[in-house]
Amino acid sequence: MKKLRVKRLLSQETATRCLHKQLTNGAKITNYLLSSLLLICALCLPIQAQATGSNKGLSSATERLLSLDKGKIELASVSAAVIDGKTGAPLYQKHAEMLMPIASITKLMTAMVTLDARLPLNEDIQFTETHKRANKNYYSRIRIGSKLARKDVIRIALMSSENMASSALGHTYPGGIKAFVRAMNLKARQLGMTHSYFVDSTGLSEHNVSTASDLAIMVRAAASYPEIAEYSRTPGYTARFSHPRYSLRYGNTNALVHSKSWQIDVTKTGYLDEAGRCLVMLTEINGRQTVMVMLNSYGKRTPLGDASRIKRWLTTGESGQISSSAKHYQRQTLQQLLQHPVSEQLALQGGVIH
Contact between 277 and 271 (Cβ < 8 Å): yes
User: Distance between CA 329 and CA 251 in Å, rounded?
Assistant: 29
Q: Which of 107, 132, 268, 311 is catalytic?
A: 107
Give the torsion sign (CA, 74, 76, 81, 85).
Answer: negative
User: Distance between CA 271 and CA 264 in Å, rounded?
Assistant: 20
Active site residue 161: yes
Q: Which of 77, 79, 104, 196 is catalytic?
A: 104
Q: Which of 79, 160, 161, 205 is catalytic?
A: 161
Task: Output the DSSP codes for 334-353.
Answer: HHHHHHS-HHHHHHHTT---
- Quickly list H helices, 274-323: 302-316
Provide the 3-class DSSP secondary structure of residue 56: coil
Cis? peptide before 244, omega within 30° of 0:
yes
Active site residue 104: yes
User: Distance between CA 126 and CA 172 in Å, rounded?
Assistant: 9
**Residues contacting 134, CB < 8 A, separation 6+:** 167, 170, 171, 177, 200, 202
Contact between 101 and 342 (Cβ < 8 Å): yes
Give the torsion sign (CA, 284, 289, 290, 293).
Answer: positive
Q: First and final CA of the chain: distance in angstroms?
A: 93
Residues serving a catalytic function are: 104, 107, 161
